[in-house]
Amino acid sequence: MTFATSHPYNDLVARITRVVPAILTSEPEALHRMIRQAEDFASYVQFDIMDGHFVPTYSITDKALATVTIKFKWEAHLMVEHPANYLVNFKKLGASKVVFHYESSPSPEEIISLARQLSIEVGLAINPNTPISAILPLVETVDSLLFMTVQPGFYGSKFQSQVIDKIAEFRRLHPMFEIGVDGGINETNVALIANSGVDDICVGSAIFLQQSPSESYRRLLTLTEEASQGQTKSW
């Protein structure tokens, strides 16, 4: 992604923003189908892991992922209680990164430390109502930050546009940090998000619940690229 010339971070190199397909399902058959679909258009994918406790719904587990061959690079978005209990298995399965929620643990530092011991990248996700000030002390200890623009746990939840202001606030403080955004993103708002200062845009239902996931992905990517044309960023 790139920033417009009027943006405060405007004089360096162009930013490339990725559209990251997010796979969320509780059904093993659907998991296999979505993985095969993603292979046609994606080189990096996010798997959403939900335990029915941190969020009210369940999704596939590490055991389900162990039954499939995954050809692309991927990360696990852990919407779970006790995320530290999941790290070893996801490392063994080949995850490039684990992303856990700040709100899921009273000791996020311990989870980050364990991820470092396992030599796996670690990202921190924050819910829409969590203030930037809460996570600033942890920023230098993680690889990325994932802003949720919905309350986590469901495909197709309502996009909360006020999070865009939070992203802008964080970007002013950390112009070079890797930022992702996740939740309620579709063709009507992806351009707005692409202009907010993010590196990764995670999209679930607007890809996988459409008639042609590959065509939907490419349209989202085109809209993202068009929103980025003629802009620069501070990196």
Domain ranges of the chain: 18-211
The mean pLDDT value for 160-179 works out to 94
pLDDT over 60 at 33, yes or no: yes
pLDDT in tens, 41-93: 999 999 999 999 999 999 999 999 999 999 999 999 999 999 999 999 999 99
The mean pLDDT value for 172-200 works out to 94
Residues annotated as part of the active site: 48, 182
pLDDT of residue 119: 97
CATH number for the domain formed by residue range(s) 18-211? 3.20.20.70
The distance of Cα 53 from the centroid of its chain, to the nearest Å, equals 20
pTM: 0.90
Q: What gap in Å lies between CA 164 and CA 198, rounded to an integer?
A: 10
How many beta carbons lie within 10 A of that of residue 176, not counting itself? 10
Q: Give residue for tokens 């856990």.
A: 100
Q: Are 84 and 114 in contact (CB under 8 A)?
A: yes
Q: Are 51 and 43 in contact (CB under 8 A)?
A: no
Dihedral over Cα of 143, 107, 84, 198: its sign: negative
pLDDT-derived band at 153, boundaries 50, 70, 90? confident
3-state secondary structure the chain: CCECCCCCCCCCCCCCCEEEEEECCCCHHHHHHHHHHHHCCCCEEEEEEEECCCCCCECCCHHHHCCCCCCCEEEEEEECCCHHHHHHHHHHHCCCEEEEEHHHCCCHHHHHHHHHHCCCEEEEEECCCCCHHHHHHHHHHCCEEEEECCCCCCCCCCCCCCHHHHHHHHHHHCCCCCEEEECCCCCCCHHHHHCCCCCEEEECHHHHCCCCHHHHHHHHHHHHHHHHCCCECCC
pLDDT of residue 14: 54
The first and second tokens of residue 114, run together, are: 């364990």
